[in-house]
Amino acid sequence: MKLLLDVMDLKIRFRVRKGHIYAVNGVSFQVHKEETLGIVGESGCGKSVTMLSLLDLLPHSAEIESGTILFKGNDLRKLKSRELQKIRGAEIGMIFQDPMTSLNPVLNIGTQISEPLIYHKGMSKKDAFVRSGELMEMVRIPDGKSRIEDYPYQLSGGMRQRVLIAMAIACNPDLIIADEPTTALDVTIQSQIIALVKDLKKKLGTSIIWITHDLGVIAGLADRVAVIYAGYIVEQAKVDDIYDNPRHPYTLGLIKAVPSVKDSGDRRLETIGGVPPDLTIRPDYCPFLPRCSYAFDRCRLENPPLSKTLENVETEHYFACWFDVRKGKPR
């Protein structure tokens, strides 16, 4: 598969009164053409910060310490603001988490969908409005062409989320970043949005990065999954391998916390005890150590790198742990 995005050793910190918060600590991942990559982890683990950095959408208190972000062979970090502006919305689209705060309440829907079409495609306002109506229909908003004059408050939560999807696909980008787009929606609408995104991916040939804290959401959506904890990728593999053969204690804990339709009803959902580490200190030990039931002496001395096991050298399954939970012994 053709490589579309290659992020290498990305480190991001935030300036605070007492020093810095180390939000992203050497993250590396790739996205190929027409591939869906799932990014999974608890709130505050660095998922959204990592993705916002790709388009230089971080707040002023953020600082990218190091890293390379290659998109179609070009390093986005070396582009000037005007050059990057031409990529936002045109080649990389983004679906934000909360549609009510992401949409402008004083502009009608047609105006908001039209903006990238006018800016990037050079369409007239009239043609852009016509295309906006077509996009509303494409994302399955009932009678979409007649609703482009509506304002966000006139639409339901699910419809507003579909509007954000319409804005993201307006210019037929090569990559769409979806930042927890189903979090605020009920289960039925979540399922509809996921089905819609899968259908649009097939039709448009777009690559997707889907950010979520719910492993269950991406089970039938992603091709590969990267699990993030405390600003580190702790496991990365094909989606089936993540579910069938989790190798990191954190991934194992996330899976055990997801309810299954196969459960008889008497199984109690497990929880991951403790709290995430203090990110004002970049640890030289395993960041999951205080919450891990498999920890031993080496975990306190070294932060394990993301690597394969010797028997899995031919696979694309990486994990950062000194203990092999599948074998029940140190690596």
Kindly write down the DSSP assignment for every residue of 53-80, as one continuous string: HHTT---TTEEEEEEEEEETTEEGGGS-
pLDDT at 213: 85
pLDDT at 192: 86
- Is 185's pLDDT higher than 80? no
pLDDT at 111: 95
- Is 186's pLDDT higher than 90? no
- Eight-class DSSP state of 174: S
- Is 232's pLDDT higher than 70? yes
Q: Could you tell me the domains of the chain?
A: 3-222 (3.40.50.300), 229-330 (no CATH)
pLDDT at 309: 65
pLDDT top residue among 112 and 331: 112
- Environment class of 141 (CB within 10 Å of its CB; exposed 0-12, middle 13-18, buried 19+): buried
Task: Give strand ranges (E) for the chain.
Answer: 3-16, 19-32, 36-40, 62-71, 74-75, 92-95, 175-179, 207-212, 224-229, 232-238, 318-319, 323-324, 329-330
pTM, two decimal places: 0.92
Least confident of 52-61, 78-87, 224-233, 264-273: 264-273
**Which pLDDT band holds residue 97 (cuts at 50, 70, 90)?**
confident
- Is 254's pLDDT higher than 70? yes
Alpha-carbon torsion angle 56, 60, 63, 68, nearest 10: 10
pLDDT at 265: 62
pLDDT top residue among 301 and 314: 301
Mean pLDDT of all residues in 169-191: 87
pLDDT digits (tens, 9 = 90+) for 25-60: 999 999 999 999 999 998 889 999 999 999 999 999
How large is the angle between the packed helices 109-121 and 125-138, nearest 10 degrees? 120
Q: Mean pLDDT of all residues in the chain?
A: 90
pLDDT top residue among 233 and 329: 233
**Which pLDDT band holds residue 273 (cuts at 50, 70, 90)?**
confident
pLDDT top residue among 100 and 65: 65
pLDDT digits (tens, 9 = 90+) for 128-159: 999 999 999 999 998 888 999 999 999 988 89
